[in-house]
Structure formats: structure tokens, C-alpha cells
Amino acid sequence: MKYYIGIDIGGTNLRAAILNENYIIIDKLIIENEVESGPKYNLGKLVSIIKEKWLDKEIIGVGVGCPGPLDIKNGKILVAPNLKTWEYFNVKEFLSKELNLQVKVNNDANVAALSEAIMGSGKGCESVYYITLSTGIGGGFIYKGEIVSGFNSIAAEVGNMIINEDCYKHKNMNYGGFEGQCSGTNISRIASKVMGRKITTKEVFDSARSGNNDLVNVINNWIINISKAIANIVITVDPEVIVLGGSVILNNKEYIEFIKEEVEKRIFDGIKVNIKLASMGGDTGLIGAGILLASPKF
């Protein structure tokens, strides 16, 4: 039997999995990403474990999901906000040399989108737009089973979409950007400003459910801002299904219907909007990274 290796590079941890030909995870591992020590040190640790555990099997190749923006064609990180010291590092070149295997690298949201499109909530759909609502916000667009990356490899990077005229600028993104208004980090930021004290994202949702009017308003604005972004996506690429994943929405699933209602207010009458929750769970990035090996495009 042949196998794939999927790797998920995160700002906190590095994860890897070995998958069979049906993209079922056989084994997986996780190590801390000591970001400040640099990519060679951290990926070197991961490579050592992979060699010890899995290279006795017939491995087809390695797929890697990595925070963007990326130079996808060359497999190089550009300037990822949560990977300081990793700037302009060529992940593909390093892993290819160390493991002597074919390596494909893509945006982490893209590989999660691929997983949902092939095996998850978008299975059977011609076009799938995936949005992750988590600590940050990312997106991926899958058309006929292929990742749409764009000329500069930034297609579907919706976190930087401008959705209002808010003066807040999140990291290196646009003023009024989607991530600056709707990510878990920024739900906490906005609510803390309203309450005059530090409040976590979980506390925001819990207190809103308990009837705190100030935080109900924060969540209502969050829903409206998400709906603006999704409405822009719908009238731009008209996907068959939009899949919402990430910890913020998966831990607060009841809000998906409110989001859908607000989206429908912002598009043409009679247009069908199909929004689903992601179904692949916490391993979606690892599975998508494995599926990446079957793609002829990159």
C-alpha cells in the first residue's frame, strides 16, 4: 500500500500525519513550534521523527499546509504574521532535500478547503468556498476539485477583505478588514473595549447568550460583518456551497442561521445561498495536505 504524509505548520505547533490511499489518518504526531528558533531547527525536529516513524513505508510524497501569504509555485513562505524568523524560507526545498520525497506546499486555509470539498461538507459540489473563523480568518476556493490560487497565490485570502470603514488596522492588513472585525482575537478586542476590561471570546459568546445587551450587540455586529464578506464572495464567484469552519463558529454553531439570513439581505432576490458548517474536524488541515499530493496543478 502507498501512503501520503500531511504536515500542518502553525504558529504554536507543527503537526504531521501519515495517510493511506483513501486519505485516512493511520498515525499522527505533534511538536511545539519554537518559532523564534527558526524554520530549519523546527522542521528539522519534525523531519527526524518522520524518518524514524514512517519512512519504512512506501510514501508517495509530502503535502504541507502553511499560513500565508505564500509563493505557492515555489513553496516559499513570504511574510506570515505568526511565523516571525520564517520569512522567505523555502519549505518545499528544505523538506524535499531532507526527506528525498516530492513535496507540495499550499496555504493552510486552501488545504482545509480541499479537505472539506473532497471529503467533507462540500463533497459532490462543483464549487466550494471555505472560510475559517478562528484566531484569524482565512479562506480557500475549490473549483472542480482544484484549488484556485490566483496569479499571486492570494486568491480567497478573505481576511484582508475590507468590510467597513472601521479605523482599526489588524497587523499588516487593511483598515476595516474582515479579520480585524470578525476573528476570535478581534471579537475579544472589540468586546474588551465595550466592557472596559479584558474579556475572552468565549466569555463574549457566553455572556451574550445570558442576555448581556452590550455583548449581544457585539455579536450582532459580528454576524453583520461576516454576512458582508460572504455576500461579497457570493456575488463575485457564486459558489455552490460556502463552508464555515474554525473554532469560533464550530463552538457557536447556532449563529450560522443568523449569518445566512443576513447574507440573503445583501444579495439579489431569489439567489440561493447554501452555507454549511465544516465537518472534517481538527484534522482537516492534515487530511487536506495529504489530498494535495493528488492534485496535478502544483
Q: Domain boundaries in the chain?
A: 3-107, 121-277
As a whole number, the mean pLDDT across the chain is 93
pLDDT of residue 168: 79
pLDDT in tens, 255-278: 999 999 999 999 999 998 999 999
pLDDT of residue 282: 84
pLDDT of residue 298: 46
pLDDT of residue 68: 80
CATH topology of domain 121-277: Nucleotidyltransferase; domain 5 (3.30.420)
Extract the runs of DSSP E, i.e. beta strands, from the chain: 2-9, 13-19, 25-32, 58-66, 70-71, 76-77, 103-107, 127-133, 137-143, 146-147, 241-245, 275-277
pLDDT of residue 242: 98
CB hemisphere CA count around 186 (13 angstroms): 22
- Examine the pLDDT at 297 and tell me if it is beyond 60: no
pLDDT of residue 221: 97
- Region 128-133: mean pLDDT is 96
Residue 289: phi and psi, rounded to 5, are: -65, -35
pLDDT of residue 277: 97
pLDDT of residue 144: 95
pLDDT of residue 11: 84
Q: pLDDT > 70: what percent of the chain?
A: 98
- Region 10-35: mean pLDDT is 94
- Residue 91 · residue 75 · CB < 8 Å: yes
pTM to 2 decimal places:
0.89
Report residue 231 as a C-alpha cell: 455576500
Q: How is the beta sheet containing 137-143 ordered, strand by strand?
A: 146-147, 137-143, 127-133, 241-245, 275-277
Distance CA 179, CA 161 (A): 8
pLDDT of residue 295: 66
Cis peptide before 69 (omega within 30 of 0): yes
- Residue 125 · residue 117 · CB < 8 Å: yes
pLDDT in tens, 190-216: 999 999 999 999 999 999 999 999 999
Distance CA 255, CA 133 (A): 12
Indicate if the alpha-carbon torsion angle 6, 80, 176, 73 is positive or negative: negative
- Examine the pLDDT at 186 and tell me if it is beyond 90: yes
Q: Report in angstroms the alpha-carbon separations of 70 from 75, 157, 180, 287.
A: 7, 11, 20, 20
Distance CA 220, CA 145 (A): 34
pLDDT in tens, 139-152: 999 999 999 988 88
Q: Looking at domain 3-107, which CATH architecture does it have?
A: 2-Layer Sandwich (3.30)
Return left, alpha or beta for 28; rule: phi > 0 is left, psi -120 to 50 is alpha, else beta.
beta
pLDDT in tens, 90-127: 999 999 999 999 999 999 999 999 999 999 999 999 99
> 3-107 and 121-277 share one CATH topology?
yes
Nearest to 163 by CA among 150, 172, 174: 174
